[in-house]
């Protein structure tokens, strides 16, 4: 099963750590709903806050 939310989350974390993951994140966003994107962004934020 594909999990775009988790993949997007890790792409956001990579971007926050200086990696150029914009193309990856953009590709996933084409396959995701707005709610899924928001969830991925929130999960990335929570993960970064909790290290």
Number of domains in the chain: 1
In this prediction, residue 34 carries a pLDDT of 96
Region 15-24: mean pLDDT is 89
51 membership: H or E segment, kind and range: none
DSSP state of 7: H
DSSP, collapsed to helix, strand or coil, labels residue 9 as: helix
Interatomic CA distance for residues 51 and 42, integer angstroms: 14
The tokens of 31 are what?
Answer: 């396959």
pTM of the model: 0.83
What domain range is 11 assigned to? 4-50
Instruction: Tell me the per-residue pLDDT of 21-46, one tens digit each, with 9 for 90 and over.
Output: 888 899 999 999 999 999 999 999 99
């Amino acid at each position: 099963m594909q999990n775009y939310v988790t993949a997007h989350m890790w792409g956001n974390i990579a971007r926050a750590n200086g990696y150029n993951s914009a193309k990856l994140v953009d590709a996933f966003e084409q396959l995701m709903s707005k709610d899924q994107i928001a969830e991925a962004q929130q999960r990335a934020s929570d993960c970064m806050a909790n290290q």
